[in-house]
Amino acid sequence: MAYEKVNELNLKDTELCLGLPGRTEEIKEEQEVSCVKSNNKRQFEETRVEEESTPPTKTQIVGWPPVRSSRKNNNSVSYVKVSMDGAPYLRKIDLKTYKNYPELLKALENMFKVTIGEYCEREGYKGSGFVPTYEDKDGDWMLVGDVPWDMFSSSCKRLRIMKGSDAPALDSSL
């Protein structure tokens, strides 16, 4: 279904869309494919009101792809071990219970009775003496806070709170 130019207006420009900006390519593909659908398909699509009235955001379809929930837990590690330098034993936390970094850091502070302080993009965790780091699924040790929360929570395998003196000095030219 090509978008016609009506009165020199490209209707596509005025179309409301729930997708993120820059998703036009995907949406286009979706609509090109829909050319092949028959009238019957149009009919039944209308009955699935909420989903089809806007270009489908692809994560909304229930039970698709057909993978059992026990398998879906794969790439989102929930329970991770947390170690702190100098602490005699490790702890475990469920990352899924936190929605963002401040919540996580607060929980860590409570758990180990330390102050971690606030994250700053340039210089990490300044002035607290404790630096939260994590091991990602590639096996690399990263500073907590650099990447968006969702990306962090799905790739974090374990946490380690390093003592400020042990943490490598970050070169400010990096």
Partner 1 sequence: MTEEDSSAKMSEDVERYLKLNPPCSSSSSSSAVAFANKSGTFKSSSPPCPEHVLENVLESVLQFLTSRCDRNAVSLVCKSWYRVEAQTRFEVFIGNCYSLSPARLTHRFKGLRSIVLKGKPRFADFNLMPPNWGAQFAPWVVATAKAYPWLEKVHLKRMFVTDDDLALLADSFPGFKELTLVCCEGFGTSGIAVVANKCRQLKVLDLVESEVTDDEVDWISCFPEGESPLESLSFDCVESPINFNALEGLVVRSPFLKKLRTNRFVSLEELHRLMVRAPQLTSLGTGSFSPDNAPQGEQLPDYAAAFLACKSIVCLSGFREFRPEYLLAISPVCANLTSLNFSYANISPHMLNPIIRNCHNIRVFWALDSIRDEGLQAVAATCKELRELRIFPFDPREDSEGPVSGVGLQAISEGCRKLESILYFCQRMTNEAVTAMSENCPQLTVFRLCIMGRHRPDHVTGKPMDDGFGAIVKNCKKLTRLAVSGLLTDEAFSYIGEYGKLIRTLSVAFAGNSDKALRYVLEGCPKLQKLEIRDSPFGDAGLRSGMHRYCNMRFVWLSSCVLSLGGCRDVAQALPNVVVEVFGSDGDDDDDTVTGDYVETLYLYRSLDGPRKDAPKFVTIL
Q: Tokens in use for 107?
A: 């929980």
The residue within the footprint of partner 1, chosen from 21, 22, 63, 88 (CB under 8 A), is 63
For residue 113, which amino acid is it?
Answer: K
The residue within the footprint of partner 1, chosen from 7, 47, 110, 172 (CB under 8 A), is 47
Position 14 contacts partner 1 (CB under 8 A): no
Interface with partner 1 in residues 98-157 (CB under 8 A)? 137, 139
The residue within the footprint of partner 1, chosen from 3, 12, 27, 83 (CB under 8 A), is 83
Distances from the Cα of 149 to the Cαs of 1, 48, 77, 111, in angstroms?
Answer: 38, 32, 13, 20
Cα angle for residues 61, 101, 145 (degrees, 5° grid): 100
Minimum CB–partner distance for residue 126 and partner 1 (Å): 27
For residue 65, which amino acid is it?
Answer: P
Kindly indicate which of the ranges 43-51, 94-102, 116-124, 145-153 contains the residues binding partner 1, using the contact rule CB under 8 A: 43-51
Contact residues: partner 1, CB under 8 A:
26, 30, 33-34, 36-38, 40-41, 43-44, 47-48, 58-59, 61-72, 74-75, 77, 83, 137, 139
